[in-house]
Structure 1
Amino acid sequence: MRRVENKVALLTGSASGIGLSTARLMAKEGAKVVIADFNLEGAQQAAEEIRTQGGEAVGIFIDAADSKTIEEAVEFTVHHYGKINVLFNNVGLTNLQKDLDVVNIDLDEWDRLLNVNLKSVLMGSRLAIPHMIEAGGGSIINTASMAGFYGDAIRAAYGASKAGVINLTRYIATQYGKNKIRCNAVAPGLILTPAAKRNMDPEVLDIFEKYNALPYHGEADDIGYTVLFLASDESKFITGQTIQVEGGHYMGNPSSPDFREYMNKAKTEGQV
């Protein structure tokens, strides 16, 4: 049997990147997937692609800043497929021009990012949980970020919102575990989605790779496979966790790559 056979999954923010990878993998493994995205045309195209490959999928609109559309997405999923077993809260925004340090951050942007990145997770879960209870349980997976664990020079709102996602994940897991509902999160590091490949300067990518423990960057499927695992019964005794999928970027002493370069140079020069 395939890994998520006969499960119904609502995936938000899934017309591209990590969400699209997850939708494809879940459909391939037997799930009926609802791809919800602000980009309706992209969501419908993604669903059509999945159907042409033998999967079952439908694309719908969602605006994570508007709780009404989140409610409509949940209700559509239940009406269309009869139940909801998996919810992947994957919508997330960042803004490098306005989401700055604490003194200089645009306060309207703070409110916007907390609403989209955190409140949408609350609302999606709040609305899906009663249906999951009726279905006998379910799995909620939230997209967090390594920014939720560590500080940075900018993106204070983004980091705070993702830290909130990490802890909200624990609260949902604690409050609804007895109803056979599991809730976990995935915290990606830098992932080479098509958007990242288009928009990130190669020098920036080289900096990130320098500090990875592994000698390469992550791909969208690396997150997709992790979400698939958390959606499946293979992870039935895992809840309240945030799995860090970041190539070991944050694992070691931050000075390790520079110290390694220093030692290699010293060896070359015969100093050690």
Structure 2
Amino acid sequence: MSMNKRMDGKVVIVVGATRGIGAATSRRLAQEGAVVILGGISVERGQAFAEELNDSGGRAEFRLADLSNGDSLLDLMNGVAHDHGRIDGLFNNGADLHLLDRDGDILSTDPEIFARSLTTNLTGYFLSCRAAIPHMLKTGGGAIVQTSSLAASRGDSAMVGYCASKAGVDALTRHVAVRFGKQKIRCNAIQPGMIMVENAVAMGDALPLELILKQTAGPRLGEPEDIASAATFLLSDDAAFINGQIIRVDGGMSIPLLSNSIAQS
């Protein structure tokens, strides 16, 4: 079956492109005809991934992009706009998951860890949008998608920095949509459910995966390709009337489930 080419010729930047959700989305965008700019911090991994996508018939290139370094994001956006003449789409995807084991409750978490969570998970998205939007305005608009989390809208007794940063991503998303929607820039966010990316697979013994699945309406946990499908749709013209939305792609994980005995009573 041939892949839909709805992204044909669009220049799309993926920040956090070489693993998990970012890699799956980059692959899907390339399959649908986009020129994919792979932003990441590992030159070796990024260049190898770009070569893989190009060998498969896509168009991809790697460029340095570090969500904790605003200068690298500005250089990325300016460089892409200079070399390709436009930026049609931006997928902000990233979080410093290495902080999670030190990201506890408000009393136990070091303020430095909290600040680092905000820097990468929220300020990085802010700076990425800030660097890309002027180029989108020059060429008549564009689409931005950002990876949020169910943690942005659900309570948790831990991960205070991660939860706060992702809630900020949702607010940032709505701000960009309201501020620039009239100028044909759309901005939406995706809240993934439990997605079996590399770190989740590695932590399988520590994560209560069976309990999570039991509390999910669907028959399985998520794969990176599930988010890739949603992100590609939101970046495409098929989603031209969707703006400022926080969309849950979670297999029904966020639906409050009643037990059978209660539901049948």
- Normalised to the residue count of structure 1, the TM-score between the two structures is 0.91
1:233 matched residue in structure 2: 237
Q: Which residue of 2 aligns with 1:16?
A: 19
> Within 5 A, what are the aligned runs for 1:28-47?
28-47=31-50
Q: 1:216 to 1:65 in 2, by over 3 A?
A: same
Q: Deviations over 1:40-86 (max 9, x none)?
A: 21111111110001110001222211100111111221123221000
SS in structure 1 of the partner of residue 208 of structure 2: helix
- The Cα shift of 1:195 comes to 2.7
> For 2:203 and 2:16, how far apart are their aligned partners in 1?
19
Counterpart selection for 2:30 from 9, 22, 27 = 27
For 2:203 and 2:84, the matched residues in 1 are separated by 37
Q: Shift of the alpha carbon at 1:167?
A: 0.9
Q: C-alpha distance in 2, partners of 1:12/1:220?
A: 15
1:53 matches 2:59: no
Quickly say closer, same or farther: Cα 1:211–1:54, change in 2 above 3 A. same
More off after superposition, 221-230 vs 75-84: 75-84
Q: Distance in 1 between matches of 2:87 and 2:25?
A: 16
Q: How does 1:113-192 map to 2 (within 5 A)?
A: 113-192=117-196
Residue in structure 2 matched with residue 106 of structure 1 by the alignment: 110
Shift of 1:202: 6.8
Residue 267 of structure 1: aligned partner: none
Q: What does residue 228 of structure 2 align with?
A: 224
1:246 counterpart residue number: 250
Letter in 1 for 2:48: Q
2:198 is matched with 194
Indicate conservation of the 8 Å contact 1:3/1:232, yes or no.
yes
> Of 7, 32, 35, which residue of structure 1 is paired with 2:10?
7
**Is 1:90 matched with 2:93?**
yes
Distance (whole Å) between structure 1 residues aligned to residue 49 and residue 210 of structure 2 = 31
Structure 2 CA distance for partners of 1:176 and 1:205, relative to 1, 3 Å:
same
Letter in 2 for 1:169: T
Gaps spanning 5+ residues in structure 1: where?
Answer: 265-271
Identity %: 37
Letter in 1 for 2:9: N
Contact 1:96–1:154 (CA under 8 A) maintained in structure 2: no
Cα offset, 1:120, TM superposition: 0.9
Q: Deviations over 1:79-133 (max 9, x none)?
A: 2322100011112123232110111111101000101110111111111111001
Cα displacement (A) at 1:203: 5.7
Aligned-residue RMSD, C-alpha:
1.6
For the residue of structure 2 that corresponds to 1:97, the secondary structure is helix
SS at structure 2 position matched to 1:58? strand
The 3 A distance-change label for structure 1 pair 203 and 98 is: closer
CA contact (8 A) 2:100 2:162 kept: no
Match of 1:96, SS state, is: helix
Contact 1:138 1:180 in 2 (8 A): yes
- Unaligned segments of structure 2, at least 5 residues: none
Look at both structures and tell me which one has the larger radius of gyration over its CA atoms. 1
